[in-house]
Amino acid sequence: MKLLSLKNLLILCSAAMLLSILSSCSLFKINRSDNEVYYVDKQLRSFDHIMLHQNSYYVIGNDFSSIYLYRFDLNLKLIEKIKISDKLYYTSIEQFKDSFLLKGTWRSHDKAYLLDYQGNKLDSLNVVNPGNFSNVFSENQKIKIEFLDDENDKVVLISNKSSEILSKSIIDFSYFNNCYHKISEKRYIIAGQGKISPKWVSTSFGFIMLLSNTNHNIQLFNDNTYTKVLESTYSTQDSFKLEILFNDWHQMNVEQTDYNNEEWFEETYNIYKQLYPELLNPTRKTDGNLLYNPKYHLINNSIQVEISDSINVPTEIKQPRLDIRKLLYKPGIKREITDFRPNVTIDRKVIYCDQQIRESLLIFLSNYNGDQEELNKRISFLKSKLRIIPAHWVGAPNIYSLPDIKRIIFNSDYSKSIVEYRNEGPTFYRVYYEKFNEKWIHKRMIVSIIS
């Protein structure tokens, strides 16, 4: 029998160790009653308004300034989702027989759209002085929601104005109610915002639930296998098991070399592969050694791309400072790569961070129960493998390694681009590039903002 090579032996040992960790983590099985119904959209920031029309629920969802109209049947099964605005904040609703009025604010104007229930705009109105539109959902005052911490389980009690408990739910996230609709004396539909941690805005998602019985048990995250492994290794401070997990992530998603032959897709990969090593500028000590020297580098596997008809960024010295309110490009076609795995030449092991890895790290970090010192300990536990940057103001820590390129805007012939990214320090950059001899050249900093 042939002897195993040292490399193969190490691989087998690592696999056996990971299986051992997983088997010791008893995953929680979700037991739902037939009457319990809820809907989650993790790509959304929040659900804001509920309307009932012809045996369907219509719910307004928002992703910051983008507004969507959702249609559900009476059992909360999604029928359709329609984008109705790219520029609207602080919305309210007024419902009519065959249409509804969506009101909100954009910059220095209030806007109102009259829409039918297919999402078609029937009329619109602009008002210069903001604040004239009021929220018609004053009835929200009649229902109250209490949040409790029952032996570290997050519990929400929903009761009406007479303090009668309508529903009790144990959930593994924080829930914030925005609106509700009364179906009968004992049946409500509520909608609002869920968060992995109460103060982490960047981890929010839309959440809707039908209240038809009590004692719901809703788990969206705790059945995540990797989170169990992180908690297990943290409790024992086992760096060897932690290394197995991170190496597993590194080997799970390899770089993508086969493109789909669409020009915008290939150009995105090409500019990223060139610029990423150039923007990687780690902080160093006075002796020249790296201040942060983690073994792994986490790259977001989702990136926003926009194709514009024109980009007009002046490069003359006559304008030493550009007006940050100007777009400097004509808004164009918006695209997104959701499985982004560029081959970047750096001296660390790259992990392409998908949603499961992202949620695993954020859930692990969120288990600090409001104790900042505990959060710092969890961040410190990961520092040999990955640099986690605490939030500058509020919100979730930044798990992505720097530079974190968020969006790339190209002109139509791919000779100009604007690259938006975060780098060292709490700063967001927007930089203008031009292509010469197939190489992207830095031409001008458009803006840097403390984020």
Confidence of residue 217 (pLDDT cuts 50, 70, 90): confident
pLDDT score at 137: 33
Residue 37 carries which side chain, given as an amino acid letter? V
pLDDT score at 182: 82
Range name among 141-155, 191-205, 268-282 with the lowest pLDDT average: 141-155
pLDDT digits (tens, 9 = 90+) for 104-138: 887 777 888 899 999 999 988 876 544 444 333 33
Domain spans of the chain? 37-218, 226-450
Confidence of residue 343 (pLDDT cuts 50, 70, 90): very high
In our burial notation (b when 16+ CB lie closer than 10 A, e otherwise), range 23-52 reads eeeeeeeeeeeeebbbbbbeebbbbbbbbe
Confidence of residue 142 (pLDDT cuts 50, 70, 90): low
pLDDT score at 213: 66
pLDDT score at 250: 95
Question: Helices 6-24 and 239-252 sit at what angle, rounded to 10 degrees?
Answer: 110
pLDDT score at 426: 67
- Over residues 147-165, the mean pLDDT reads 67
Confidence of residue 347 (pLDDT cuts 50, 70, 90): confident
Strands 165-171 and 216-218: parallel
Cα distance between residue 366 and residue 425, in whole Å: 22
pLDDT score at 411: 96
pLDDT digits (tens, 9 = 90+) for 348-384: 899 999 999 999 999 999 888 778 899 999 999 999 9
pLDDT score at 399: 94
Range name among 186-190, 342-346, 348-352 with the lowest pLDDT average: 186-190
Q: Give the rounded distance of the alpha carbon of 315 from its chain centre.
A: 34
pLDDT at 239 over 70: yes
pLDDT score at 153: 64
pLDDT at 218 over 80: yes
Residue 80 β-bridge partners: 71
pLDDT digits (tens, 9 = 90+) for 288-320: 676 677 899 999 999 999 999 999 998 876 777
